[in-house]
């Protein structure tokens, strides 16, 4: 399934990098995604002219598994929502609202087990199949994996210019003394992203080399201050 392969690739940097020891064995993120897709299929509702799939998923993990997912919970939830959109688009299903995903601890579950409770939760407006396809396609942008301390958070490059700096209004706000208030920006145009230093005090490095402006390639590592940001082309 293409959308599940994309899911594995997008989360691969986290699972193979910072959390490689954590996910060496036991329940894997892709198993959760596969279960969500299965529940979408099982719980879909067939109307006269359209098929509506669940858009909300309450996912329960065992007490043993839940702690392993805590540090990457935000990234996992984001990617599971994208799986919901892509699956609905691929199969021509509509959604009654935007995708919602929430993780819980299932105290009665054994290690490796999970429960997924799907439901159709009415949003401000329904998302028919054509709009679902547009929303799924809109999710295919570049993205940044920002490594700070013992956590990683994901930022989608979903607008033309994404700013990086210490200012609270930055698109990527980094609390690192080596980072300038307005440190750098990434401009995406015609499917290509370019990193530009904004006259920062300590400069911006790309794959270990100081740069002023440089096109980005998948897997590039940006360093601002002591913070490493990985660029992924989705």
* Per-residue pLDDT of the chain in tens (234 residues, 90 and over written 9): 545 666 666 555 554 444 444 555 678 888 999 999 999 999 999 988 889 999 999 999 999 999 888 877 877 888 888 889 888 888 999 998 889 999 999 999 999 999 999 999 987 666 666 666 666 665 556 889 898 877 788 888 878 899 999 999 999 999 999 999 999 999 988 677 899 999 999 999 999 999 999 998 878 999 999 999 999 876
What pLDDT is attached to residue 6? 64
All structural domains of the chain: 2-138 (3.30.2320.60), 142-233 (2.60.200.20)
Dihedral sign, Cα of residue 136, residue 122, residue 40, residue 106: positive
Three-class SS state of 216? coil
Judged on CB neighbours under 10 Å (0-12, 13-18, 19+), 110 is: exposed
pTM exceeds 0.85, yes or no: no
What pLDDT is attached to residue 219? 83
**Closest by CA position to 229, among listed 120, 122, 145, 163:** 145
What pLDDT is attached to residue 7? 66
What pLDDT is attached to residue 16? 47
Residue the block writes with tokens 């699972």:
15
Three-class SS state of 12? helix
Strands 227-233 and 142-148, how do they pair? antiparallel
What pLDDT is attached to residue 9? 61
Residue the block writes with tokens 């799924």:
136
**Closest by CA position to 61, among listed 109, 21, 26, 29:** 109
What pLDDT is attached to residue 19? 45
């Amino acid at each position: 399934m293409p959308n599940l392969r994309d899911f594995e690739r997008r989360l691969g940097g986290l699972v193979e990098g910072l959390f490689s020891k954590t996910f060496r064995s036991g329940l894997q993120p892709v198993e959760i995604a596969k279960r969500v897709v299965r529940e979408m299929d099982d719980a879909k509702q067939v109307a006269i002219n359209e098929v509506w799939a669940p858009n909300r998923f309450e996912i329960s993990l065992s007490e043993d598994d839940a702690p392993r997912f805590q540090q990457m919970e935000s990234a996992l939830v984001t990617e599971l929502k994208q799986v919901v959109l892509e699956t609905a688009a691929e199969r021509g299903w509509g959604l009654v609202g935007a995708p919602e995903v929430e993780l819980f601890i299932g105290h009665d579950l054994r290690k490796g087990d999970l429960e997924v409770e799907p439901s159709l939760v009415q949003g401000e407006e329904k998302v028919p199949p054509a709009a679902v396809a547009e929303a799924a396609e809109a999710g295919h942008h570049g993205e940044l994996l920002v490594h700070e301390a013992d956590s990683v958070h994901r930022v989608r490059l979903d607008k033309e210019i994404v700013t990086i700096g210490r200012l609270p209004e930055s698109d990527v706000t980094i609390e690192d003394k080596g980072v300038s208030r307005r440190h750098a920006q990434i401009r995406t145009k015609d499917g290509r992203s370019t990193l530009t230093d904004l006259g920062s005090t300590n400069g911006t490095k790309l794959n270990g080399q100081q740069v002023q402006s440089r096109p980005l390639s998948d897997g590039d590592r940006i360093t601002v201050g002591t913070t490493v940001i990985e660029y992924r082309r989705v």
